[in-house]
Amino acid sequence: MLEALEMIKAFRGGDESVCRTHPWLFMLVSAEERIVNLERISSIGELAHANPVLDYVERMLTILDSLPLSYWIKELLEEVLAWAETAKGGTVRERLHWTQSGVNLFLHHIGSAQLYERHVLERRGSMTPHEQMVHTLIRTHGLIGQHIRGEVALEENAPLSGLVQSGQLTVEELSRLLVPLNQCIIGAVSEPLWHAVKEETAQLVVRIAEGAFDEEWSLHDRLRRLRAGSIQSGEDFESELKRIGERVDLTIALNDLRNMTLWYVEAALQDFSLEEFVKVMLLSLRAEGEGSAEGRKGTEDTSGLAIHPEMPQPIRHLSFETLMNDMYYDYKGAKKLNVYKKRMIEQYLRQADWEACLQGAVSANPHLRHRIVRKPGLPDTVFFTFEFSKAAEKLIEFCIEAEKSPLYEKAVLLLFDLFGLRRDAYDRFHNEESYLEDMNSTGDYKQVILEYVTGTVVLDIGPGGGVLLDLMEERLPQVRPIGIDISSNVIEALEKRKRLEQRSWEVMKGDALRLKQYVEPGKVDTVIFSSILHELYSYIETDGRRFNTATVEAALRSAYEVLSPGGRIIIRDGIMTEGDAWRRIRFLEEDGMAWLARYAADFQGRAIRYEPLSANEVRMPVNDAMEFLYTYTWGAEAYVHEVQEQFGVFTPSGYAACIRKTLGPEARILVQRHYLQEGYAEALAGRIELTDDAGRVTALPDSTCLFVIEKPAEPVK
């Protein structure tokens, strides 16, 4: 085993004395700050109790230990890897001292090389050829991988070819060093990642060894590399870049990017669209360049110290580290994108036209602005981030804290109001991914809809995870399915999945109550409302109030307006039970009564009535009982959302009456069915017992209706 690995193992076993004889280990284990690329971790909360830098160094050394290398290569690389991350270590006080004495802690490879050099010089006063080689390899540590990602030009590796030019190594020897070194560096991040870039790494190593730095990136190639993660997640890079290029000459606008290295760009910006990404780059360059007041005057470092406006040294490094750290938080032990901040930043960038971005002069929002920060001692570096007002920060913090509370929806609406966004409550923010997965699991329930689809152009209103779009594409090849949703994150998720799975269906952002603004009236053959009318009823304000049947009527009129002659509206949704029967619920779970009390207090659709009969049994009107049980079925994770919705809007006869009233006698109801949705009985088994008012066990009532409405093929005379 490598000596460095033995020292780490000894430390982890409780022998802290090894740190006194191995300064690199002391620096790593004494780290008080967590400096890590958040792109590569799954939990931020765990960072408080872990040392990810020491873990990474140990993984690199473990890979090195397993490689069949000559003794001199392994010994050399062991020293390089042991010291390569030391600039991320040290106590806060030590790091302050290092910075004040000229160590570059932002460029970690440079800072680590400086710390190694100091260590050697303090011992001997000069470096041997071996130590000079180690110093050069530390100084260029990780740059090949960053070049592959589009962050760093290959020429940044020029010090390595200098080892050949000075005669310290042959081209072959340098290649034999660099390939295993990068296998350790990249493989310690991800073994599959190493296998994916192994061939390109070997080619780059040859170019570096030969000093062949003439080939520069094209702007297209660099942007594509910078967006690799987004492309892998489904971004249509080529089409989007072409569309942007029709508005802006990117070759000119992003020219200054050629001479810059970029840090943490993918981790900070991969969840934003390509258009938003390009706008951020434009703002970064314009705010900094050519004496711009934004970049050169009145900026401050993170400690609040004013920075001297005269910065003659050209900018070589553009960092998004601050933005990266600001864009994630820990949710139930997992790293979560701060989608609240993302939505506000998206709104900010949408409102910034291209000309404003080219000038770096976006109108300031009172609660959000982009900011360029320069720090003392780093004259060639700028840090780009977005800065929220104190009020916005507090409200976003409150949204995160309220994620499991009924206050959550109110907090989100306050946030929307603060930034002038529409008050549509469809963005489920913190658990949208799991919600969409749940929606996709309901495919079997939705197959019945396919039997009644007519024509070729079909609108799926509120497509959720896209399961119905998939079913139509797979089973109705003649159909052109189009999903329409008001939620930005639903549309984003669907567009990405469409590209990844090479689906042919379409999606667009749109309002169900104004369909004729998005599709031509008379050109749609089928409009589907699958479990969406009750959401419109519950969330959309009509005449100043939610839970208004006028909203359902408006949605039906909107759909009917765009239908072609002979076209159909298909409704699959929740229903109430006819009549005024009462039911008894006996809870088989200890917290059942507490659930009901909480639900009755939180539900805003109507007053929920119940009469306690014992510590675990209540008597309720059947529709109040079922409305509660629909939410109870979903469980705690979905409660904060489901309690906002009234699943049963009408009884079956009430639905029919609403359809006739809204669409008139010419609209023909072809199908009128209702049934108990499969799964409810199973989900409640073992949790409750349902009886009639006399105490006899009874089945759950029908939960779901299916209506098919047809527009006459010819106008009614």
> Mind listing the pLDDT tens digit for each residue in 12-46?
999 989 988 999 999 998 887 666 555 555 544 55
Per-residue pLDDT tens over the stretch 274-286: 999 999 999 998 7
Q: Give the pLDDT confidence score for residue 69 in this predicted structure.
A: 94
d(CA 282, CA 18): 49
Q: Which residues of 449-477 are buried (b: 16+ CB within 10 A; e: fewer)?
A: bbebbbbebbbbbbbbbbbbbbbbbeeee
Cross-strand pairs, 529: 461, 571
Helix or strand (DSSP H, E) at 205: helix 191-210
Range 460-470 average pLDDT: 92
Range 404-417 average pLDDT: 73
Q: Can you give 439-466 as a three-state secondary structure string?
A: HHCCHHHHHHHHCCCCCCEEEEECCCCC
d(CA 213, CA 556): 64
Q: Is the pLDDT of residue 647 over 50?
A: yes
Question: Counting Cβ atoms within 10 Å, is residue 442 exposed (0-12), middle (13-18) or buried (19+)?
Answer: middle
Nearest CA-CA partner of 316 in 99, 86, 98, 107? 107
Whether the full predicted model's pTM is greater than 0.75, yes or no, is: no
Give me the sign of the Cα torsion angle 234, 237, 238, 241. Answer: positive
Backbone angles phi, psi at 501, to 5 degrees: -95, 0
Q: How many CB atoms lie within 10 A of CB 65?
A: 15
Backbone angles phi, psi at 192, to 5 degrees: -60, -35
Per-residue pLDDT tens over the stretch 597-634: 999 998 989 999 999 999 999 999 999 999 999 999 88
Helix or strand (DSSP H, E) at 336: strand 334-337
Confidence of residue 88 (pLDDT cuts 50, 70, 90): very high
Number of helices and strands in the chain (H, E)? 35, 17
Q: Is the pLDDT of residue 296 over 70?
A: no
